[in-house]
Chain A
Amino acid sequence: MQTSWLPFIPESASTVSGKVDALYFYLSGVTLFFSLLIGGVITFFVIKYRRRLPNEIPRPIAGSHKLEILWSVIPFIIAMSMFAWGAQIYFQNSRPPKNANEVYVVGKQWMWKIQHSTGQREINELHVPIGRKIKLIMTSEDTIHDFFIPAFRIKADVLPGKYTMQWFEATKPGTYHLFCAEYCGMNHSGMIGSIIVMQPTEFDSWLSGNVNQQSPAVAGQQLFQSLGCVSCHGANGEGGRGPTLAGLFGGKVFLNNNQTLTADESYIRESIENPAAKVVNGFNPIMPTFQGQVTPEQLIQIISYIKSLQISNPQSTTPAAPAAKAAPASQTGATPAPNKQ
């Protein structure tokens, strides 16, 4: 049974799970104290002031502004402490660390398709090492799902047409539940899986046991050619009739309506599916839509290819995922069963 040594607390296996539990204990302590206090006072009054004579009429008592202020202000202060603590952890967790390993998650009725940035694919399982930061970039092929790992105390909705993110750093080897936590139809309760946390060395050998894979960036590069993106954006994304894509990700984009934005996953996706929505300053809205021609998974591959195109070192325009080099170039979509350890 996946519980920790504390009763009624699930296994704690990530760097945030302890923080969430600490806040949970604080909340439990404070609310239990006040509930028992109120309950005790009420019980005491109900017994002490029970009706003794059928016709007795107690003396009325006027209210007290002092008391009212007291019991508004004190709970407010306590509530604010809860707010601040909860918000602080939430805010920290909302910003994925820069050096995190990326893992792509696609939810569909009723399974989880997962791909590591090194190419390994898994279904309803996610292998991760302890001590490394993992960032999940998630989207859905159909309705809303939710990627929930109780042992890590994290969860986030997985939406169609949008990328959501969450990250974690596992601290304890073991196998933990993965649940879909947003109702998604018939087999919602079957949309479950395992998070397998390993020692880094074990993980690395698991990875190398799965070399026969193509990294998403390489697959993305092939799509970039086969879909004809190259004709406008250049063979290596250096630009042409369309804007330069090398170095685009994470940088600023100036639009022809004088707005500025930061290029993230959602922006790139929108530019592929609905190019006219945001046109880069100095270019004409000539790009055709690719909506319906690329699956959510392929979109992730293209995005990951574009991410790999950084200007700072031009030679990396050919994506350099180590595991991918050995792979024959034609395996988009192949999913050999991952090695289980």
Chain B
Amino acid sequence: MKAFETFETPSAARVNYINAEYGLKSWLLTRDHKRIALLYLGSISFFFFIGGLYAMFIRLELLTPQGDLLASTTYNKVFTQHGIIMIFFFLIPSIPATLGNFLVPLMIGAKDLAFPRINLLSWYIYLLGGIITIYALLAGGVDTGWTFYAPYSTTFSNSYVIAAGLGIFVSGFSSILTGLNFIVTIHTMRAPGMTWFRLPLFIWAHYATSLVMILGTPVVAITILLLAFERVAHVGIFDPAAGGDPVLFQHLFWFYSHPAVYIMVLPSMGVVSELIANFSRKNIFGYKFVAFSSLAIAVFGFLVWGHHLFVASQSVYAGMIFSFLSFAVAIPSAIKVFNWTATLYKGSISYDTPMLYALGFIGLFTVGGMTGLFLAALAVDVHVSDTYFIVAHFHYIMVGGALFGYLGGLHYWWPKISGRMYPEGWGRFSALVIFVGFNLTFLPQFVAGYLGMPRRYHAYPPEFQVFNVLSSAGASILGVGFLIPMIYLVWSMRYGKLAEANPWHLPGLEWRTASPPPTENFLATPVVTWEAYEFAPVEEMRVIGKFRDEEV
């Protein structure tokens, strides 16, 4: 007689990827994409915490116009290290390496990524890069700004430029490997029936992101290498005193770093597409437009780097071309926002925490994108370039966008990842606190920027103080807002309510296996017969199990 085996009902005792093996070695040598995702989750949370501490010092220093809390050299190191850690060690790996790692195989019905060992290797490389960077910080720090502009970085800075650069150089290889792994996996390991246009938009976004990672990261790696070479040997690449060209550095740097901002925000857009569709129980409006706009952003994002050089002595004609292209690349982002909005129409919208983050994302990303138009408009950028307007703009994109998507996704998939529910009340409360704190921190910076306050200033004229006080007040609310989920998520791993296989009643493949999933993800190979976001009555969304011979 055959019995049908599923893992539908929650149970703490059941074998899953977390309790399948015990011991440090079973984690450090694992090849399970889900465990590697957790390794990444731990490490990026650590870096987020460090980066946050630096932010706290920045905001404390700027409470008063005088540079009275930190020495100016210390302040310069603090904002540099804040940027380096947040961008290269938190935001770039955040969604791809944690949620992406965990979910790409689950969502396409695969057992693992295409190259599990390379996946583990990527974490070790990331860790090595992180350790080198931490060494740079402890040895004395680096003060060039996260942008490493020459010739300050090659010739004038007396800080640990090469060590910090090396850390970034090394960690870049971990993103290349992750991108490679995703692309091969998405091409070759989709379950039967999982056609390209049945893929969840999260997968499309990760596909586009992976392209950027593979094509862009080598350029920054080479640039950092040249920078180190110039610093040691003064061969005349970037330093004009030796015959080099400092603007060349800026071109190379932004050729990667503009696309890199899309490495940060595209995965987040993928998460938000999932959240908006699933929490309004609607198929996404204009699926193909949303999917292809990710690719369009990834490709055209490589053509706009010169908008960071409008006042850097770039030719006027180049400036006009880059301005035009920057306006053009804003359109695919606008298309996404419109499609998300249309998806809500006649939906069945719930107000669960992940959805609050998704709605927050749309609002904040819209502000970020709209202010991007100000910066793309040449004459206005001349005035606001290198002021707090820029600082506000990219925080709206990178915190309001990338980080909100990450937090929304983390809550949404938390039951799948941990097998436990997070406390919903606390979740909604902290989402609200973060939203309010964020806006209070960064809205005033737009004003200070247009009034002329330059960025990277340790001391500033007193007329800007009111905006800085508001900003620092907002930052303390924001800080508390981030602490709450850190606490309750850890708490819920032990004390949270046990999660069902499909707590949100959704059709995606990741919800058709147990929470947490078994090591092999699905008991049997899933066969996909439904479209993405095809919402069937709850009882029809079966967990994928298998028949086995057993005496009953």
Binding site for B on A (CB under 8 A): 1-3, 8-10, 16, 19-20, 23-24, 27, 31, 34-35, 38-39, 41-42, 45-46, 49-52, 55-61, 63-64, 67-68, 71-72, 75-76, 79-80, 82-83, 85-91, 93-94, 109, 142-144, 146, 148, 150-151, 153-157, 159-162, 164, 177, 179-190, 192, 274
B312 at the binding interface (Cβ < 8 Å)? yes
Given A45-B349, A90-B320: A10 in contact with B283 (beta carbons within 8 A): no
Which residues of the other chain, B, contact A184 by a CB distance below 8 angstroms? 152
Inter-chain CA distance A187–B72, complex, in Å, is 7
A89 and B379 contacting across the interface, CB-CB below 8 Å: yes
B226 at the binding interface (Cβ < 8 Å)? no
Inter-chain CA distance A101–B494, complex, in Å, is 74
B454 and A49 contacting across the interface, CB-CB below 8 Å: no
Given A41-B341, A57-B535: A90 in contact with B370 (beta carbons within 8 A): no
**B287 interface neighbour in A49, A63, A153, A187, Cβ under 8 Å:** A63
Which residues of the other chain, B, contact A34 by a CB distance below 8 angstroms? 370
Inter-chain CA distance A41–B152, complex, in Å, is 48
Q: Which residue of chain A is the closest to B242 with respect to CB atoms?
A: A161
Which residues of the other chain, B, contact A150 by a CB distance below 8 angstroms? 383, 451-452
Which residues of the other chain, A, contact B337 by a CB distance below 8 angstroms? 38
Inter-chain CA distance A340–B157, complex, in Å, is 36
B429 at the binding interface (Cβ < 8 Å)? no
Which residues of the other chain, A, contact B324 by a CB distance below 8 angstroms? 83, 87
Ordered by A's residue number, 16 sampled pairs between the chains whose C-beta atoms are within 8 Å are A8-B447, A24-B450, A35-B367, A42-B344, A50-B351, A63-B285, A67-B338, A68-B339, A82-B376, A143-B151, A150-B383, A153-B379, A160-B241, A162-B313, A188-B458, A189-B459
A-B interface pairs (CB < 8 A), number: 269
B457 at the binding interface (Cβ < 8 Å)? yes
B452 and A148 contacting across the interface, CB-CB below 8 Å: yes
Q: Which residues 403-418 of B sit at the A interface, judged by CB distance below 8 A?
A: none
B344 and A2 contacting across the interface, CB-CB below 8 Å: no
Given A31-B373, A156-B311, A159-B240: A80 in contact with B366 (beta carbons within 8 A): no
B373 and A45 contacting across the interface, CB-CB below 8 Å: no
A153 and B152 contacting across the interface, CB-CB below 8 Å: no
Q: How large is the interface on B (under 10, 10 to 19, 20 to 34, 35 or more residues)?
A: 35 or more
B463 and A1 contacting across the interface, CB-CB below 8 Å: yes
B342 at the binding interface (Cβ < 8 Å)? yes
Which residues of the other chain, B, contact A64 by a CB distance below 8 angstroms? 285-286
Binding site for A on B (CB under 8 A): 67, 72-73, 76, 143, 145, 149, 151-152, 155-157, 240-241, 243, 246-247, 280-283, 285-289, 310-313, 316, 319-320, 323-324, 327-328, 330-331, 334-335, 337-339, 341-342, 344-351, 359, 362-363, 366-367, 370-371, 373-374, 376-383, 385-387, 447, 450-452, 454-461, 463, 533-538
**B289 interface neighbour in A63, A164, A188, Cβ under 8 Å:** A63
Q: Which residue of chain B is the closest to A183 with respect to CB atoms?
A: B456
Given A90-B320, A185-B156, A188-B76: A82 in contact with B451 (beta carbons within 8 A): no
Known: A31-B370, A34-B370, A60-B533. 20 other contacts (CB 8 A): A19-B379, A20-B379, A20-B380, A23-B380, A31-B374, A49-B349, A50-B348, A57-B536, A58-B348, A60-B282, A63-B286, A63-B287, A64-B286, A71-B335, A72-B334, A83-B323, A86-B381, A87-B378, A144-B149, A188-B457
A144 and B151 contacting across the interface, CB-CB below 8 Å: yes
Smallest CB–CB gap between B393 and chain A, Å?
12
